Structures are given as structure tokens and as C-alpha cells.
Structure 1
Amino acid sequence: MQEELLQFKIQKVWILVDLPSGKKAIGTKWVYRNKKDERGIIVRTKVRIVGQGYKQEEGIDYDEVFAPVARVEAIMIFLAFASFMNFLVYQMDVTSAFLYGTIEEEVYVCQPPGFVDPKFIEKVYKVEKALFGLHQAPRVWYETLSTYLLDNGFHRGQIDKTLFIKRLKGDILLVQVYIDDIIFGFTRKSLCTDFEQIMHKRFQMSSMGELTFFLGLQVKRKDNGIFISQDKYVGEILKKFRFSSIRTISTPMETNKALAKDKEVKRIFRYLKGQPKLGLWYPKDSPLILEDFSDSDCVGSSLDRKSTTRGFQFLGSRLISWQCKKQTVVANSTTKAEYIAASHYYGQNPVYHSKTKHIEIRHHFIRDSYKKRLIKMVKIHTDNNVADLLTKAFDVTRFQFLIVRIDKKELAIPGQTTTGKEFSNALMADSLPKTILPTKVFEMT
């Protein structure tokens, strides 16, 4: 607590004042947290003073609050590219990150519990910096960090605004920001050293070395690729719901049974119990070809007859994104269900949103993208569609075959596609079009 208050004093976060007439002060509280590594061992204890932002009033205490936040898919793409380029990936954490941004609004907070000045009991703090818990804090921190990086030779990603890129004589440094956690990869060690020095000049950092654990993902780099797993998380949820000693099972869904709600949720836990070490393998030697396997069952839900959309997205043999979602409308034909699925997964691209409302729009949207050669449509047999893993129940043999195919997926798509070398060159030259890759392939049954 004393360290946190010392940071507040150093950063000049607030000043003790009388509460002006007509103004109100929001409360503060202490929040405690143990930070653990991938093995579950506590590596740091943290405490923060947090403003009770839920008591703020829009238009009075804050206005704009939006701040870009990296999606998990962006992290996976970052790691996929790192495996291809054989990057070393490091991580660092900004200490009390939000306290570096100055807020424009007039905000007052109560003195923190246990640290009320006995000489000025009635006084409150006027907040000058972006205190944790305030609605505007993430926006102010993002603006502070991004402005600093841009001023130091970085430029922001055209699609992902949480990705920052710096190039120097053919070398590249990529920085991915998730609020106050930062991961970065580079082609030359000196770029890493320069970046750490730049950050230390402006912020108080806790450099954590090579990336091993990030957003619940365990990351292990090897000479021939990167392995990503979540056995720590699996262990935690099994312990939380008291399923640590249950009998294991080989598949997550029961065969010859309609997909429905499992109120007790035991089967999926039994499957996870038996597969704690299962993860994703990102091989170094796989090209960066973007593919999408999408499918939809027609009126598959026995409760409301809605279709379920499912899909996998790959960069070469690297699975970077997957989704399984019940459609919001009832499709009255298999074709319409497939169009909804296709437009949804093409909508994973930030340029095209996935909220088209009518089949006619979906039809022309996909057809227009096909005519412009933004995508290649390839019909594949259902036996080879890995997207079926998400909604169909298979026997053990078939299920394991599809699981293996995810990691060792062979590309058998006719026609031209974008190679990993072309993608890398485009990234280095900052000439990527407004899609994740120039060619996007949809494989549909």
C-alpha cells in the first residue's frame, strides 16, 4: 500500500482539496491480486487503489471511453508470424500504467480507506491522472502509450490499432499491446535493447524476459516452432468445480445424440481431464497462407430449429481462430445457412463487419468478394472439414483424425495463394491491403 501511495506521489496523480460546491466525490477501494506464472506459483503480490467508476455519471465525470484492446486472435496471429520469422518474443509490464495519462475531466475521489489524513478528514482528492477504475482510464492510457511510441519511430497497424511496427535497415520490431501488458518480437537483438531503453525513459517497467505465459496462454518456443497450451487453466477450472478426480472420456460430445444444453456440464470436464496437455503447434516451416474452414448445420437445434455456424481460421498449419455460434435467425434452406456462415467468418476480417441482416445482402457480399478475387471459394468433402469438430459428435477414431489434421493440415487448394514470403515482404514494406492477407480462402461443404 505504501508503495502504491508513493507511486501516486511520484506521478502526481492527485491533490488534496476541499470538495467544491455542487460536486460529489466517488469512493475508492483497495484491490489485492497475486500474479502467478504458468506453473501457478506466485511471482508478485500487487495492490492498487481503484476508483469506484460505476458511480461516475456520463457527460459529467467522463465522455469518450473507447480504447482499442487486442483481440485474442491478434495475439495468435502475432505468435504465428513469430514462429514463421523465428522471432524471439519477450514480454514486459508497465507498473501502474494508467497513472501516466492526464485526464481532462474534473473528477474527485474520497481518501483511500485506512489512509485518511487525520488533519483533513473532510477533504477529497482531485484526480489529475487516469486512476484505475475510472471509465476514461483505458482510453487515456492508450493515447499516452501510442503517442509516445509514434514519437519514437513506430507506426501503428492499419487494421490492428494495438500493433506497433518499427523498421530499421531491413529489420523489424513488432510490439503488441494488451492494456498494460506488452509483448514484442524482433529480427535483431539490438532492436530489443533499444526498445527497452525507450520504454524505461518514460515508464517504470518490470521486464519479464522471454514470453512464457500471456492472457492465460502458456507459450513454449522451440527451434522448429511455438507450442501454445492451457493446461494450467484446465487444472484451475477442474479444481474450481471439483472435477479433479472424475473419470476421463475420449470425446467432448456423445455420439448419436442431439446437441443440447448439458445442465451438469460433466462431459466436457471429463474430456478436458483426459487431455490436459493438448495444445496448438505453430511450426516454423509452414507458409503463411490464410484459410478458413466454415460450415453450418441446417436447423440443427432441436429447441428452436436454428442453425449453428462453426469455423476455423488457419495461417498455414497454424490454427489462429475458431468460433461456434448459433445463428440469430432461422434459415429456411441449407444454402441460406451456408451464406450466413460464410459471411460471418469473412466478417472476422476487421474491414468487413459480420452484422449484415438479410440473405440478399449476404449473397451479394460473398459474391462480390469472390468476383474481386478477395476470396477463393473451394468446395471440400465433409470428411475433411475440421470445423465439424465444434458441433458434431464423432467416435474416437474420427475425432482423433480431425484433431491431428488441425496440427498437420496439408494444403490442397488449387489456384494462387499468398505465400509466407510475400506476406513477410508486404509487412516489411507496409503494403498490406485492407485485409489480413491479400487472398482469403473459404472452404465450405
Structure 2
Amino acid sequence: MLSLSVSRYWLIHQLDVKNAFLHGDLTDTVYMHQPPGFHDPTKPGYVCYLRKSLYGLKQAPRVWFHRFAQYALRVGFQHSRCDSSLFIYRHGTHVAYLLLYVDDIVLTASSNSLLQKIITSLGKEFAMTDLGPLNYFLGISTTRTTHGMFLSQRKYALDILDRADMSNCKPCNTPVDTKSKLGPAGPLVTNPTLYRSLAGALQYLTFTRPDITYVVQQLCLFMHDPREPHFGALKCVLRYVRGIIDDGLQIFPSSTTKLIAYSDADWGGCPNTRRSTSGYCVLLGDNILSWSSKRQATVSRSSTEAEYRAVANAVAETCWIRNLLHELHSPLSHATLIYCDNVSAVYLSTNPVQHQRTKHIEIDIHFVCDKVATGDIRVLHVPTTSQCADIFTKGLPAPLFTDFKSSLNVHSLTPVPTAEVY
């Protein structure tokens, strides 16, 4: 949504609903004791029958969302099937997108008059505050510049470093070395709760820092039984974050509407289970939309199988994004390009020959081949030196890591922000 809005130079506003859960109408039968200070002395044994939801009820989030969805549909919004938190409005050439997260709303529209009309309508229905242009949402700082929008979690990263008592640590160039991957060996950590807390916090940091996605995924594999080598790797990530504390994700205005994905796998990389690690990133024009680093569920018998399963994951993600763009009234007219550095996996996508080592991965083969046959997907070969998805599957040398990191639009905010552009 941000990529489309920035590319079209739309205004983006942030709204906050006051006491959101109190707007919900209960359909379930719920009773509660008379609250302190509101007892009826003549009926001490009576209880309250709730008609509206209260904070603390397990039904409260659901009934609030149902209440909001009913209003949105009544005023002309359509509920997205791809993302339950997204509402889309279209009337003629006028378009608006609304994202709801509990009581926080991000709203963008094709014209300022439509934006203000929707804000006024929301204010009449719910008690809410217009916080103005999008600035700080769910811990992510947004800055509009002459070059688009810059997303940063600098404050959140500083809080993580302070929690780990590493605010003044010595920085390092990369978040993970090129040595073998982490295993289950080593002495137990003295404070496993701190390890889990920091690893979970780093997971949220990957929302604007795809460059640490791989190592955070590796650290989270051992949250149930953290060892000292794992804690040492986690400290290495924190040292890296400290060195590039001002880095974030840049979203550019892009006239290109091509959807491109890079897919890679590190065959048998896990020293304990011999499972492979899949990684991909999806870009719309110049902007990265989605990325992932995940250990495969089964052991692959060949590098071709591991790469092909990674391609299937990337294809599934791009299919979802294509459907979402269609709902956003921005359908794609070109096939999605999936770049893979394994020639055999590329051949299998168009010629599903049942070889001895691939005949057991029938579902993935037919899934990808069907998408290629319909023209939605094209799987192409890319040299390993240009495979930026490598950053999601293994540790890389510093020069190559920096190059791929730049390809993901992760850097510091260098241009001076301006308010006159939008």
C-alpha cells in the first residue's frame, strides 16, 4: 500500500480510535458482577447483562472489528479477501485504501478531498483523532522525502540495545560470519529468558531491516534451548545493529509495475537435521515488498530439489501479491519473473520430467508448472553473483553482503526531508 501511494504521490494519514473496544455490540450472552462503586444496595445479588463490549473480554477484539467492518461496507468500502485488515474504496476514478490494526488506522486516497471526506465520516461514526500525515506507526517511523518514503525503527533498535546492555558496544560489519551454521551444542545460557526476549524483539526489527532476516531466523530456531554459541551470535547481530543504527527501508516513487522475485536455497545447511534454508524477496518495481528466510520442512535429496522448493515458496508469495494488487485496482499486465541460480530448477519449471531425484516432489512441480503454463509466472536463471536472495540463506563476506543489502534498499536516510513535495 505504501509503495503504491508513494509512487502515485498520494497523501497518507494516520488515525487513532478512542476506546475502540467500547464501540463493539455484543451478540453473546455475557454477565458480570456489579462493578465497585456502582453496587445497587437494594439488589446486591444481581449481575449486569452486557450489551456493549469492555476491555478484557475475549470477545472484545472480534466484535469491535465486526462493528468497524459493517460501517466500512455501509459507506462503500470493500473488504479485501487477501488481507482481512484492508478495506478498499473505489468510486469512478477515486480510490482509497484503509488499513486497520486494532485502534490504529492508516488511510490513503487518490485526492485530498476524498481523504478529508472519509476522515469526517469516520469521525461522525467513532470517537477518533486525526494524527495527520503518517509519521510513527506501530514502532515504525516514516519520513517523506524528495525521494519517496523512509521507514526506520531506530528508536526500537536503541531500546533493544539498552535491554541487552550493549548501547556502547563495538560495531561489526556483518550480522553473521561465513562459518558453519549454528548447532545445538554448547553450554546452556545463564539467562534463557533474556535470549528469547531479545530474539523475539529482533524478529520485529526485520520489518524494516531485511538484511538481518537470515541470522534472526537462525537464532529463533534455538529459542526452546539456547546455548552460549547462540547468545554469542545474537550479540554479533546487536553489534551490527549498533553500527548501522540509522539504517532503514527506502520506498521510491516507481513507474514500473513489474513484479520480480529472487529465490535461493542453501542445500543441507543445517548441521543437525540436514534441512535446507529457503529464502526469497519480492520487488514491485524498485521497492521490496516481501522477504523470507525459513528452514524447509523436509530434507531435500539434491540441490535441485531444495532450490525448487524455494522457487515454489516464492511463487506462492507472488500469487498472493498479484491477487492483492488486483484487489487494489492495480492489476499486473506482465508475468511475474522468478530468478533462481539453479539451472535444473529452472528447467523443471517448464519441463516437469520425473527424474529419479525429483519424482517425489510432485505437488510443488505441478503447482509451479501450472502457473508458468497460464503465463502468470516465468522462472529465469540468474548468476550467483547477482542472486540477492543469497542474503536470506547464508552468511556472506562483507563486500557481497553490502552489495546485496543495497539491492534491498536498506541504507541510511541521507536526503533532507521536505514537506513541500506532497
- Band the TM-score falls in, shorter-chain normalisation: 0.7 to 0.9
Partner of 2:230: 263
Report the Cα distance in structure 2 between the residues aligned to 1:121 and 1:389, rounded to whole angstroms: 66
Partner of 1:126: 49
Out of 75, 80, 84, the residue aligned to residue 161 of structure 1 is: 84
Report the Cα distance in structure 1 between the residues aligned to 2:170 and 2:137, rounded to whole angstroms: 30
Partner of 1:310: 279
Are 2:3 and 1:80 aligned?
A: yes
Q: Aligned partner of 2:300: which letter?
A: A
Residue 122 of structure 1: how far off its partner (Å): 5.0
Partner of 1:328: 297
Partner of 2:366: 364
Partner of 2:142: 219
**Cα distance change on mapping 1:337 and 1:110 into 2, 3 Å:** farther
CA contact (8 A) 2:266 2:394 kept: no
* CA-to-aligned-CA distance 1:81-120 (integer Å, 9 cap, x gap): 11111111101011111222211111123455x6463836
Unaligned runs of 5+ in 1: 1-77, 353-357, 409-445
Unaligned runs of 5+ in 2: 184-218, 220-228, 324-359, 411-422
Q: Aligned partner of 1:278: which letter?
A: D
Partner of 1:344: 313
Superposition pairs of residues 153-232 of structure 1, within 5 angstroms: 153-232=76-155
Report the Cα distance in structure 1 between the residues aligned to 2:126 and 2:181, rounded to whole angstroms: 55
**Cα distance change on mapping 1:241 and 1:150 into 2, 3 Å:** same
Residue 278 of structure 1: how far off its partner (Å): 1.0
Are 2:27 and 1:104 aligned?
A: yes
Report the Cα distance in structure 2 between the residues aligned to 1:221 and 1:115, rounded to whole angstroms: 49
Report the Cα distance in structure 2 between the residues aligned to 1:185 and 1:305, rounded to whole angstroms: 46
Report the Cα distance in structure 1 between the residues aligned to 2:11 and 2:242, rounded to whole angstroms: 32
Partner of 1:291: 260
Report the Cα distance in structure 2 between the residues aligned to 1:339 and 1:137, rounded to whole angstroms: 44
**Cα distance change on mapping 1:285 and 1:350 into 2, 3 Å:** closer
Report the Cα distance in structure 2 between the residues aligned to 1:286 and 1:138, rounded to whole angstroms: 39
Q: Aligned partner of 1:276: which letter?
A: I
SS across alignment from 2:178? coil
SS across alignment from 1:234? helix
Residue 361 of structure 1: how far off its partner (Å): 0.5
Q: Aligned partner of 1:360: which letter?
A: E
* CA-to-aligned-CA distance 1:23-54 (integer Å, 9 cap, x gap): xxxxxxxxxxxxxxxxxxxxxxxxxxxxxxxx
Out of 396, 399, 402, the residue aligned to residue 398 of structure 2 is: 396
**Structure with more strand by fraction:** 1
Q: Aligned partner of 2:368: which letter?
A: I
**Cα distance change on mapping 1:110 and 1:295 into 2, 3 Å:** farther
Q: Report the TM-score, using the length of structure 2 for normalisation.
A: 0.72
- Greater relative contact order (CA < 8 Å, ≥ 6 in sequence): 2
**Cα distance change on mapping 1:125 and 1:241 into 2, 3 Å:** farther
More moved, 286-295 vs 321-330: 286-295
More moved, 285-294 vs 374-383: 285-294
Report the Cα distance in structure 2 between the residues aligned to 1:315 and 1:133, rounded to whole angstroms: 41
**Cα distance change on mapping 1:107 and 1:323 into 2, 3 Å:** same
State the superposition RMSD in angstroms.
Answer: 2.2
**Cα distance change on mapping 1:240 and 1:257 into 2, 3 Å:** same
Q: Aligned partner of 1:334: which letter?
A: S
Partner of 1:433: none
**Cα distance change on mapping 1:111 and 1:344 into 2, 3 Å:** farther
Q: Report the TM-score, using the length of structure 1 for normalisation.
A: 0.69
User: Sequence identity of aligned pairs in percent?
Assistant: 32
Report the Cα distance in structure 2 between the residues aligned to 1:300 and 1:121, rounded to whole angstroms: 67
CA contact (8 A) 1:84 1:287 kept: no
Report the Cα distance in structure 2 between the residues aligned to 1:177 and 1:87, rounded to whole angstroms: 18
Report the Cα distance in structure 1 between the residues aligned to 2:265 and 2:19, rounded to whole angstroms: 46
CA contact (8 A) 1:280 1:318 kept: no
CA contact (8 A) 2:87 2:97 kept: yes
Residue 241 of structure 1: how far off its partner (Å): 1.5
Out of 49, 58, 70, the residue aligned to residue 147 of structure 1 is: 70
* CA-to-aligned-CA distance 1:383-409 (integer Å, 9 cap, x gap): 11111112322222111111112229x
Report the Cα distance in structure 1 between the residues aligned to 2:293 and 2:44, rounded to whole angstroms: 55
Report the Cα distance in structure 2 between the residues aligned to 1:274 and 1:123, rounded to whole angstroms: 62
Report the Cα distance in structure 1 between the residues aligned to 2:30 and 2:299, rounded to whole angstroms: 48
Partner of 2:167: 244
